[in-house]
Structure 1
Amino acid sequence: MSAIWYECKVKYRKLQETGEQKLVTEPYLVDAISYTEAEKRINEEMGAYVSEEFKITNIKVCNYAEIHPFENADRWFRSKVSLVSFDEESGKERKANMYLLIQANDVKEAYDNTVNVMKDTMGDYTIPAISESLIMDVFPYFSGEESDLEALEKFNTLKASKPVYEEVEDSGEFLEISEEATA
Protein backbone atom coordinates (compact mmCIF):
# COMPACT_ATOMS: atom_id res chain seq x y z
CA MET A 1 0.00 0.00 0.00
CA SER A 2 1.39 3.38 -0.92
CA ALA A 3 1.56 6.27 1.48
CA ILE A 4 -1.02 9.03 1.51
CA TRP A 5 0.63 12.36 2.24
CA TYR A 6 -1.28 15.21 3.87
CA GLU A 7 -0.11 18.80 3.82
CA CYS A 8 -0.96 20.41 7.15
CA LYS A 9 -0.71 24.18 7.53
CA VAL A 10 0.16 25.20 11.07
CA LYS A 11 -0.12 28.74 12.43
CA TYR A 12 2.05 29.67 15.40
CA ARG A 13 4.34 32.34 16.85
CA LYS A 14 7.88 31.81 15.60
CA LEU A 15 10.97 33.38 17.09
CA GLN A 16 12.77 35.34 14.37
CA GLU A 17 16.54 35.83 14.08
CA THR A 18 16.04 39.42 15.29
CA GLY A 19 14.58 38.09 18.54
CA GLU A 20 11.01 39.18 17.92
CA GLN A 21 8.11 36.76 17.62
CA LYS A 22 6.12 36.69 14.41
CA LEU A 23 2.88 34.88 13.62
CA VAL A 24 3.60 32.47 10.73
CA THR A 25 1.68 29.79 8.86
CA GLU A 26 3.92 26.99 7.62
CA PRO A 27 3.10 23.78 5.72
CA TYR A 28 4.26 20.38 7.00
CA LEU A 29 3.81 16.96 5.44
CA VAL A 30 2.57 13.88 7.32
CA ASP A 31 1.95 10.32 6.19
CA ALA A 32 -1.47 9.20 7.43
CA ILE A 33 -4.48 7.06 6.55
CA SER A 34 -7.15 9.72 7.04
CA TYR A 35 -7.65 13.41 7.74
CA THR A 36 -8.32 12.55 11.38
CA GLU A 37 -5.05 10.66 11.73
CA ALA A 38 -3.20 13.46 9.91
CA GLU A 39 -4.58 15.98 12.42
CA LYS A 40 -3.59 13.74 15.34
CA ARG A 41 -0.08 13.18 13.96
CA ILE A 42 0.61 16.86 13.20
CA ASN A 43 -0.56 17.76 16.71
CA GLU A 44 1.90 15.23 18.18
CA GLU A 45 4.79 16.29 15.94
CA MET A 46 4.28 20.03 16.38
CA GLY A 47 3.78 19.64 20.13
CA ALA A 48 7.39 18.49 20.33
CA TYR A 49 8.67 21.53 18.37
CA VAL A 50 6.41 24.41 19.40
CA SER A 51 6.27 25.39 23.05
CA GLU A 52 3.33 27.78 22.70
CA GLU A 53 -0.14 27.41 21.24
CA PHE A 54 -0.53 26.54 17.57
CA LYS A 55 -3.49 26.15 15.26
CA ILE A 56 -3.95 23.79 12.32
CA THR A 57 -5.48 25.98 9.62
CA ASN A 58 -5.72 23.51 6.73
CA ILE A 59 -5.22 19.83 5.88
CA LYS A 60 -5.23 18.57 2.30
CA VAL A 61 -4.14 15.46 0.43
CA CYS A 62 -0.95 15.85 -1.61
CA ASN A 63 -0.21 13.90 -4.75
CA TYR A 64 3.43 12.98 -4.07
CA ALA A 65 4.34 9.54 -5.40
CA GLU A 66 7.55 9.40 -3.35
CA ILE A 67 9.48 11.42 -0.77
CA HIS A 68 13.29 11.37 -0.90
CA PRO A 69 15.46 12.96 1.80
CA PHE A 70 19.13 13.51 0.96
CA GLU A 71 22.16 14.12 3.14
CA ASN A 72 23.41 17.67 3.63
CA ALA A 73 20.27 19.26 2.16
CA ASP A 74 17.97 21.73 3.87
CA ARG A 75 15.11 22.52 1.45
CA TRP A 76 12.39 20.49 -0.27
CA PHE A 77 11.73 20.61 -4.02
CA ARG A 78 8.78 19.34 -6.03
CA SER A 79 9.96 17.42 -9.11
CA LYS A 80 7.50 16.70 -11.89
CA VAL A 81 8.50 13.50 -13.70
CA SER A 82 6.74 12.50 -16.91
CA LEU A 83 6.87 8.78 -17.63
CA VAL A 84 6.80 8.24 -21.38
CA SER A 85 5.01 5.22 -22.88
CA PHE A 86 3.99 4.26 -26.39
CA ASP A 87 0.35 3.37 -27.08
CA GLU A 88 0.48 0.71 -29.81
CA GLU A 89 -3.24 0.91 -30.64
CA SER A 90 -3.27 4.62 -31.42
CA GLY A 91 0.42 4.88 -32.33
CA LYS A 92 0.87 7.86 -30.03
CA GLU A 93 3.27 8.63 -27.24
CA ARG A 94 1.61 9.05 -23.83
CA LYS A 95 2.94 10.78 -20.75
CA ALA A 96 1.90 10.01 -17.20
CA ASN A 97 3.00 12.59 -14.65
CA MET A 98 4.07 11.90 -11.10
CA TYR A 99 5.44 14.23 -8.46
CA LEU A 100 8.40 13.57 -6.18
CA LEU A 101 9.39 15.58 -3.12
CA ILE A 102 13.18 15.78 -3.20
CA GLN A 103 15.46 17.29 -0.56
CA ALA A 104 18.27 19.47 -1.93
CA ASN A 105 20.03 22.81 -1.49
CA ASP A 106 19.20 24.30 -4.91
CA VAL A 107 17.36 23.50 -8.13
CA LYS A 108 20.40 21.98 -9.84
CA GLU A 109 20.98 19.63 -6.92
CA ALA A 110 17.26 18.79 -6.89
CA TYR A 111 17.52 17.89 -10.60
CA ASP A 112 20.61 15.73 -9.92
CA ASN A 113 18.86 14.03 -6.97
CA THR A 114 15.77 13.38 -9.11
CA VAL A 115 17.93 11.78 -11.82
CA ASN A 116 19.63 9.70 -9.10
CA VAL A 117 16.25 8.50 -7.78
CA MET A 118 15.04 7.65 -11.30
CA LYS A 119 18.26 5.91 -12.47
CA ASP A 120 16.83 2.38 -12.07
CA THR A 121 13.64 3.18 -13.99
CA MET A 122 13.20 0.84 -16.94
CA GLY A 123 11.12 3.19 -19.09
CA ASP A 124 11.79 6.59 -20.58
CA TYR A 125 11.03 9.70 -18.58
CA THR A 126 11.52 13.45 -18.68
CA ILE A 127 11.74 16.02 -15.88
CA PRO A 128 9.71 18.98 -17.19
CA ALA A 129 9.63 20.98 -13.95
CA ILE A 130 11.31 21.40 -10.59
CA SER A 131 10.21 24.06 -8.13
CA GLU A 132 11.03 24.86 -4.54
CA SER A 133 8.35 23.69 -2.14
CA LEU A 134 7.21 25.64 0.90
CA ILE A 135 7.18 22.38 2.96
CA MET A 136 9.10 22.97 6.19
CA ASP A 137 9.40 19.36 7.35
CA VAL A 138 8.22 15.84 6.54
CA PHE A 139 6.91 13.36 9.11
CA PRO A 140 6.64 9.83 7.69
CA TYR A 141 4.68 7.08 9.43
CA PHE A 142 6.56 4.18 11.00
CA SER A 143 4.75 1.33 12.73
CA GLY A 144 7.32 0.81 15.50
CA GLU A 145 8.55 -2.55 14.24
CA GLU A 146 12.32 -3.04 14.38
CA SER A 147 12.83 -2.76 10.60
CA ASP A 148 10.69 0.39 10.60
CA LEU A 149 12.75 1.87 13.44
CA GLU A 150 15.90 1.44 11.36
CA ALA A 151 14.17 3.08 8.39
CA LEU A 152 12.97 5.93 10.63
CA GLU A 153 16.48 6.51 11.99
CA LYS A 154 17.91 6.54 8.45
CA PHE A 155 15.19 8.92 7.21
CA ASN A 156 15.67 11.30 10.14
CA THR A 157 19.48 11.18 9.84
CA LEU A 158 19.32 12.09 6.16
CA LYS A 159 16.68 14.76 6.76
CA ALA A 160 18.50 16.36 9.71
CA SER A 161 21.99 16.45 8.22
CA LYS A 162 23.24 19.97 7.69
CA PRO A 163 24.33 21.24 4.29
CA VAL A 164 28.05 21.28 3.61
CA TYR A 165 29.12 24.34 1.70
CA GLU A 166 32.47 24.44 -0.01
CA GLU A 167 34.22 27.78 0.14
CA VAL A 168 35.17 28.92 -3.34
CA GLU A 169 37.72 31.67 -3.83
CA ASP A 170 36.58 34.28 -6.32
CA SER A 171 39.47 35.45 -8.48
CA GLY A 172 37.29 38.07 -10.17
CA GLU A 173 38.04 36.62 -13.60
CA PHE A 174 35.52 35.28 -16.07
CA LEU A 175 35.86 31.70 -17.23
CA GLU A 176 35.40 30.90 -20.88
CA ILE A 177 33.31 27.81 -21.60
CA SER A 178 33.95 26.07 -24.89
CA GLU A 179 31.07 24.98 -27.11
CA GLU A 180 32.13 21.36 -26.59
CA ALA A 181 31.59 21.64 -22.81
CA THR A 182 28.05 22.90 -23.20
CA ALA A 183 26.99 20.30 -25.76
Structure 2
Amino acid sequence: MVGQAIGLFAVTNIDDILILSLFFAQGAGRPGSARRIAIGQYLGFAAILAVAVAAAFGATFLPESAIPYLGLLPLALGLKAAWQAWKQRGDEDDEQEAAEHGPASLEVAAVTFANGGDNIGVYVPVFATAGVGGMSVYAVVFLILVGVWCFAGRYFATRPVVAKALSRWGHILLPLVLITISLLILVEGGAFGL
Protein backbone atom coordinates (compact mmCIF):
# COMPACT_ATOMS: atom_id res chain seq x y z
CA MET A 1 0.00 0.00 0.00
CA VAL A 2 2.95 2.35 0.66
CA GLY A 3 4.11 1.91 -2.94
CA GLN A 4 0.62 2.74 -4.21
CA ALA A 5 0.52 5.84 -2.02
CA ILE A 6 3.92 6.99 -3.32
CA GLY A 7 2.82 6.45 -6.93
CA LEU A 8 -0.50 8.23 -6.42
CA PHE A 9 1.18 11.20 -4.77
CA ALA A 10 3.86 11.49 -7.45
CA VAL A 11 1.38 11.34 -10.32
CA THR A 12 -1.04 13.85 -8.82
CA ASN A 13 1.58 16.33 -7.59
CA ILE A 14 4.32 16.40 -10.23
CA ASP A 15 3.39 19.98 -11.19
CA ASP A 16 3.98 21.13 -7.61
CA ILE A 17 7.74 20.74 -8.01
CA LEU A 18 7.79 23.50 -10.64
CA ILE A 19 5.62 25.78 -8.51
CA LEU A 20 7.72 25.08 -5.41
CA SER A 21 10.92 25.78 -7.36
CA LEU A 22 9.51 29.16 -8.40
CA PHE A 23 8.50 29.96 -4.82
CA PHE A 24 11.92 28.91 -3.48
CA ALA A 25 13.65 30.99 -6.15
CA GLN A 26 11.48 33.97 -5.24
CA GLY A 27 12.43 33.58 -1.59
CA ALA A 28 16.13 32.83 -2.16
CA GLY A 29 18.41 34.56 0.31
CA ARG A 30 15.53 35.82 2.45
CA PRO A 31 15.61 34.64 6.08
CA GLY A 32 12.77 32.28 6.98
CA SER A 33 11.50 32.09 3.41
CA ALA A 34 12.11 28.34 3.01
CA ARG A 35 10.28 27.70 6.29
CA ARG A 36 7.30 29.82 5.20
CA ILE A 37 7.12 28.03 1.85
CA ALA A 38 7.25 24.59 3.50
CA ILE A 39 4.60 25.61 6.05
CA GLY A 40 2.39 26.91 3.25
CA GLN A 41 2.83 23.72 1.25
CA TYR A 42 1.91 21.63 4.29
CA LEU A 43 -1.11 23.82 5.10
CA GLY A 44 -2.41 23.62 1.55
CA PHE A 45 -1.88 19.89 1.29
CA ALA A 46 -3.37 19.26 4.74
CA ALA A 47 -6.49 21.09 3.55
CA ILE A 48 -6.60 18.88 0.44
CA LEU A 49 -6.29 15.77 2.63
CA ALA A 50 -8.94 17.00 5.07
CA VAL A 51 -11.46 17.60 2.30
CA ALA A 52 -10.66 14.27 0.61
CA VAL A 53 -10.94 12.31 3.88
CA ALA A 54 -14.20 14.03 4.81
CA ALA A 55 -15.60 13.39 1.33
CA ALA A 56 -14.55 9.73 1.55
CA PHE A 57 -16.71 9.50 4.68
CA GLY A 58 -19.60 11.12 2.82
CA ALA A 59 -19.23 14.74 3.93
CA THR A 60 -18.95 17.43 1.31
CA PHE A 61 -17.83 20.94 2.08
CA LEU A 62 -17.92 22.10 -1.48
CA PRO A 63 -20.30 20.93 -4.15
CA GLU A 64 -18.38 19.31 -6.99
CA SER A 65 -19.50 22.11 -9.28
CA ALA A 66 -17.64 24.64 -7.08
CA ILE A 67 -14.23 22.92 -7.33
CA PRO A 68 -13.30 24.48 -10.71
CA TYR A 69 -13.74 27.93 -9.17
CA LEU A 70 -10.75 27.22 -6.92
CA GLY A 71 -8.83 28.29 -10.02
CA LEU A 72 -9.66 31.86 -9.06
CA LEU A 73 -7.13 31.67 -6.18
CA PRO A 74 -3.99 31.19 -8.28
CA LEU A 75 -5.45 33.61 -10.86
CA ALA A 76 -5.67 36.35 -8.22
CA LEU A 77 -2.17 35.58 -6.93
CA GLY A 78 -0.77 35.41 -10.47
CA LEU A 79 -2.36 38.72 -11.44
CA LYS A 80 -1.03 40.28 -8.23
CA ALA A 81 2.49 38.99 -8.97
CA ALA A 82 2.24 40.18 -12.59
CA TRP A 83 1.09 43.63 -11.45
CA GLN A 84 4.00 43.86 -8.99
CA ALA A 85 6.49 42.77 -11.65
CA TRP A 86 5.10 45.31 -14.13
CA LYS A 87 5.05 48.10 -11.54
CA GLN A 88 8.65 47.42 -10.53
CA ARG A 89 10.16 46.84 -13.95
CA GLY A 90 13.60 48.35 -14.08
CA ASP A 91 13.52 49.37 -10.39
CA GLU A 92 15.61 46.74 -8.63
CA ASP A 93 15.55 48.49 -5.23
CA ASP A 94 11.74 48.49 -5.06
CA GLU A 95 11.64 44.90 -6.29
CA GLN A 96 13.99 43.80 -3.52
CA GLU A 97 12.01 45.70 -0.89
CA ALA A 98 8.68 44.28 -2.09
CA ALA A 99 9.97 40.73 -2.05
CA GLU A 100 12.07 41.17 1.11
CA HIS A 101 10.40 38.28 2.89
CA GLY A 102 9.63 36.06 -0.09
CA PRO A 103 6.31 34.25 -0.52
CA ALA A 104 3.93 34.17 2.44
CA SER A 105 2.79 30.83 3.87
CA LEU A 106 -0.86 31.55 3.13
CA GLU A 107 -0.11 32.43 -0.51
CA VAL A 108 1.71 29.12 -0.95
CA ALA A 109 -1.13 27.29 0.85
CA ALA A 110 -3.75 28.90 -1.39
CA VAL A 111 -1.90 27.94 -4.56
CA THR A 112 -1.29 24.40 -3.27
CA PHE A 113 -4.95 23.94 -2.35
CA ALA A 114 -6.29 25.40 -5.59
CA ASN A 115 -3.84 23.40 -7.69
CA GLY A 116 -4.80 20.26 -5.76
CA GLY A 117 -8.54 20.62 -6.25
CA ASP A 118 -8.45 17.95 -8.94
CA ASN A 119 -6.42 15.71 -6.59
CA ILE A 120 -9.41 15.60 -4.26
CA GLY A 121 -11.46 13.92 -6.98
CA VAL A 122 -8.75 11.26 -7.35
CA TYR A 123 -8.16 10.74 -3.63
CA VAL A 124 -11.81 10.39 -2.54
CA PRO A 125 -12.57 7.04 -4.23
CA VAL A 126 -9.14 5.67 -3.25
CA PHE A 127 -9.66 6.69 0.38
CA ALA A 128 -13.25 5.44 0.43
CA THR A 129 -12.17 1.96 -0.65
CA ALA A 130 -9.01 1.88 1.50
CA GLY A 131 -10.84 2.09 4.83
CA VAL A 132 -9.61 3.94 7.90
CA GLY A 133 -6.32 2.00 8.19
CA GLY A 134 -5.47 2.39 4.53
CA MET A 135 -6.47 6.04 4.55
CA SER A 136 -4.08 6.59 7.47
CA VAL A 137 -1.24 5.00 5.50
CA TYR A 138 -1.99 7.19 2.50
CA ALA A 139 -2.13 10.33 4.67
CA VAL A 140 1.17 9.60 6.44
CA VAL A 141 2.97 8.76 3.18
CA PHE A 142 1.54 11.86 1.49
CA LEU A 143 2.65 14.13 4.34
CA ILE A 144 6.16 12.67 4.27
CA LEU A 145 6.27 13.18 0.51
CA VAL A 146 5.22 16.83 0.86
CA GLY A 147 8.55 17.29 2.67
CA VAL A 148 10.37 15.45 -0.11
CA TRP A 149 8.64 17.69 -2.68
CA CYS A 150 9.70 20.81 -0.74
CA PHE A 151 13.28 19.52 -0.67
CA ALA A 152 13.17 18.79 -4.42
CA GLY A 153 11.70 22.21 -5.21
CA ARG A 154 14.39 23.92 -3.17
CA TYR A 155 17.07 21.70 -4.69
CA PHE A 156 16.05 22.61 -8.25
CA ALA A 157 15.78 26.30 -7.37
CA THR A 158 19.35 26.32 -6.02
CA ARG A 159 21.08 24.58 -8.95
CA PRO A 160 23.32 27.25 -10.51
CA VAL A 161 21.83 27.08 -14.01
CA VAL A 162 18.25 26.91 -12.74
CA ALA A 163 18.86 29.52 -10.04
CA LYS A 164 20.33 31.94 -12.58
CA ALA A 165 17.39 31.45 -14.95
CA LEU A 166 14.84 31.76 -12.14
CA SER A 167 16.47 34.89 -10.72
CA ARG A 168 16.42 36.46 -14.17
CA TRP A 169 12.98 35.26 -15.31
CA GLY A 170 11.22 34.16 -12.09
CA HIS A 171 9.31 37.43 -11.73
CA ILE A 172 7.76 36.65 -15.14
CA LEU A 173 7.50 32.87 -14.78
CA LEU A 174 5.69 32.86 -11.41
CA PRO A 175 2.71 34.94 -12.58
CA LEU A 176 2.69 33.09 -15.91
CA VAL A 177 2.63 29.65 -14.23
CA LEU A 178 -0.02 30.72 -11.68
CA ILE A 179 -2.27 32.23 -14.34
CA THR A 180 -1.81 29.18 -16.61
CA ILE A 181 -2.65 26.78 -13.76
CA SER A 182 -5.65 28.92 -12.94
CA LEU A 183 -6.92 28.87 -16.50
CA LEU A 184 -6.41 25.10 -16.73
CA ILE A 185 -8.39 24.57 -13.51
CA LEU A 186 -11.17 26.88 -14.68
CA VAL A 187 -11.39 25.51 -18.24
CA GLU A 188 -10.99 21.80 -17.41
CA GLY A 189 -13.55 22.16 -14.64
CA GLY A 190 -16.03 23.96 -16.88
CA ALA A 191 -16.20 27.07 -14.70
CA PHE A 192 -18.20 29.95 -16.19
CA GLY A 193 -19.34 27.61 -18.97
CA LEU A 194 -15.80 27.44 -20.44
TM range (shorter): under 0.3
TM-score, length-scaled by structure 2 = 0.23
Higher relative contact order (CA 8 A, sep 6+): 2
TM-score, length-scaled by structure 1 = 0.24
Higher strand share: 1
Higher helix share: 2
Larger Rg: 1
